[in-house]
Amino acid sequence: MGNITVTINGTEISVPDPMTILEAATQNNIDIPTLCHQPDLTPNGVCRICVVEVEGARTLVAACHTPLTDGMVIHTRSPKVLSVRKTIVELLLTAHTGTCVNDVNAANCALHKLASDLEVGEPRFHVQKPRFYAPEESNPYVTRDLSKCILCFKCVKACDEIAGKGVLSVGYRGFESKIITGCDDALTHDICKDCIVCADACPTGALSRPDLLDKKQKGAV
């Protein structure tokens, strides 16, 4: 393992090889937004919000799983990058139904924070059949409100790779895809006791800790 030299936003830096674009950017205090990525989980590259421009590449690349190569020249906030990120946020907001703007959870929602940072307003797109699921509070340890789910799959990976429980999976297909337990059963498992790994990983308010919700509703946090 040696060092390679890359240029990010006009600044030449030396970084250890191997390393991803996101890791190098983070190490050098350059912010690249992420939604489906978490450093202690294997990358799944589904949300594409971390796209950056690499000179010579035909398309934008996802920073979270693209390895650096010597001499790479990267732009993390070019007009093209910002325009694509805005469109991604708009598309995610279109499918992200519910009333979370007025919700106690919105302040903790990475998608809403991104929309605000990128100045994304009301989405231009409309879905014919919005995904709507009634919030579930049957589990005393995790509250589910899957209308807010952006299908980033972090919870599934976190439950597998960090909690080692394998309770969550992706059910159905295409637009009907949904994070489920078992055969789309209610999440009532005692296995979730003292865990909350999935709620901590969730970038939106789709999974949350009932204890924190209670405190927020009472204005304690």
Three-class secondary structure of residue 171 per DSSP: strand
Q: Binding to ligand SF4 by residue 112, rule CB under 6 A?
A: no
Report the Cα–Cα distance between both ends of the chain, in Å, rounded: 45
Assess contact for 84 and 193: CB atoms under 8 A. Answer: no
Going by C-alpha positions, the residue among 186, 194, 190 that lies closest to residue 211 is 194
Task: Give the nearest distance from C-beta 100 to ligand SF4 in angstroms.
Answer: 12
**Residue 21 vs 163, nearer CB to ligand SF4:** 163
- Rounded distance, CA 47 to CA 7, Å? 25
Q: Binding to ligand SF4 by residue 179, rule CB under 6 A?
A: yes
Q: Binding to ligand SF4 by residue 104, rule CB under 6 A?
A: no
Options 44-52, 93-101, 171-179, 210-218: segment touching ligand FES (CB under 6 A): 44-52
Task: Give the HSE-up count for residue 99: Cα atoms under 13 Å, Cβ half-sphere.
Answer: 5
Q: Binding to ligand SF4 by residue 50, rule CB under 6 A?
A: no
- Rounded distance, CA 71 to CA 103, Å? 46
Options 19-27, 55-63, 67-75, 200-208: segment touching ligand SF4 (CB under 6 A): 200-208
Residues that bind ligand FES (CB under 6 A): 34-37, 45-50, 62, 64
Residues that bind ligand SF4 (CB under 6 A): 141-142, 149-155, 158-159, 163, 165, 167-168, 179, 191-192, 195-198, 201-204, 206-207
